[in-house]
Structure formats: structure tokens, C-alpha cells
């Protein structure tokens, strides 16, 4: 890991699977400076701390999709085991399973990255909401402008009554 405060590196490793922002066991092991096997063994020894909403195993089809979409997962193509995916809560729980100064610093950096990502998502939601409001106002204004143009067209298209000529007319 470049620096423990490098949230960009952590955010690049985050994935969205099953509607959850997750980090895979192999990426977490790399961040913590341990092997994937050691990380998974620590989790297995404390499995009661990791319910399904904290950690889950990817299905074979999810793993195949990752291998297809991301080059960095090509080593998983022939792997027998499917990777474990840790949600934000699961990563927080890892701090109670893994010890050491590096584990503490990595956990802090990861939690900050999740918080920053949540802020970005909230900003995005607010922006979408405001754009939808603006679109509604534009639709209302469009309807009002159309009504004005229709009124102008009606005024312009009123046939002129023939003007009566002044003077005597021949009957005819």
C-alpha cells in the first residue's frame, strides 16, 4: 500500500456486489500486509463475528464475471475457492480479529474511504433530486410558453373582416 491515508487506492479496490460496497479478501489481505490465507483463517476462527451482511462468499458466476470484467482478477479464473466479500461492517469487525498497528491504520483508512464514498453518493442523490425538480419546472415553463405561442397564433390567424369601402356602391 502506498500510504495508509491513500483513500484513492482503497476506493479503486471497492466493488459493488449484490447492492453492497465491498472489498475482497485478497485486496484486504494486501492492504493489511498478510496473506489471503492468513486473513481467511483469522475470519474462520471468529466466524460468529461475520454474519452474511458482514461477509459473504461470491458465487462462481460472480467470480467469473469479475474475472471477465477486471484484469486484476485473472488469477481467480482457475481458483478452486471463491473470494470472500467484506462489507463495511465486516471490515470494521476485522479490526477486532486482526491486531497490530498496521491493522489499526488500515482500518481507519478504509473507514474514512467508506465515509467519503457515502458523502459522494449523497451529493449525487441531492444533485439528481435537484435536476428532477428543475426538469419539472422546465416542463411547467414549456407548457406555459406553448400556451403563449398558441394564443399569439390565434391572434395572428383571426381573419380580417373586409373593410367597408367609404362612399356609394353600385348595387350589383
Question: Between 72 and 140, whose confidence is greater?
Answer: 72
Q: What mean pLDDT is predicted for residues 81-105?
A: 85
Higher-confidence residue: 125 or 65? 65
Q: What is the pLDDT of residue 161?
A: 66
Per-residue pLDDT band at 1 (split at 50, 70, 90): very low
Yes or no: say if 113 and 105 are a contact pair by the CB < 8 Å rule. no
The pLDDT assigned to 160 comes to: 63
pLDDT value for 51: 93
- What tens digit of pLDDT does each residue of 104-147 get? 788 788 888 878 877 877 777 777 777 777 777 777 777 777 77
Q: Which range among 41-50, 91-100, 102-111 has the greatest average pLDDT?
A: 41-50
pTM metric for this prediction = 0.61
Q: Residue 130: in which H helix or E strand, if any? A: helix 101-157
Task: List the domains of the chain with CATH numbers.
Answer: 7-119 (3.10.260)
pLDDT of amino acid 158: 59
The residue ranking higher by pLDDT, 152 or 83, is 83
Helices (H) and strands (E) in the chain, counts: 6, 4
For 76-105, b/e burial (b = at least 16 CB within 10 A) is: beeeeebbbbbbbebbebbeeebeeeebeb
Amino acid at each position: 500500500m502506498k500510504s495508509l491515508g491513500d483513500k484513492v487506492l482503497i476506493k479503486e479496490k471497492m466493488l459493488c456486489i449484490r447492492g453492497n460496497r465491498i472489498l475482497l479478501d485478497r485486496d484486504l489481505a494486501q492492504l493489511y500486509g498478510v496473506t489471503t490465507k492468513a486473513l481467511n483463517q483469522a475470519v474462520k476462527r471468529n466466524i460468529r463475528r461475520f454474519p452474511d451482511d458482514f461477509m459473504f462468499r461470491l458465487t462462481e458466476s460472480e467470480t467469473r464475471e469479475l474475472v471477465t470484467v477486471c484484469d486484476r482478477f485473472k488469477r481467480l479464473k482457475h481458483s478452486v475457492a471463491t473470494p470472500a466479500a467484506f462489507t463495511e461492517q465486516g471490515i470494521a469487525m476485522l479490526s477486532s480479529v486482526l491486531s497490530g498497528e498496521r491493522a489499526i491504520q488500515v482500518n481507519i483508512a478504509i473507514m474514512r474511504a467508506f465515509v467519503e464514498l457515502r458523502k459522494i453518493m449523497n451529493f449525487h442523490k441531492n444533485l439528481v433530486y435537484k435536476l428532477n425538480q428543475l426538469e419539472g419546472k422546465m416542463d411547467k415553463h414549456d407548457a406555459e410558453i406553448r400556451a403563449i405561442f398558441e394564443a399569439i397564433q390565434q391572434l395572428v390567424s383571426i381573419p380580417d373582416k373586409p373593410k367597408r369601402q367609404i362612399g356609394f356602391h353600385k348595387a350589383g
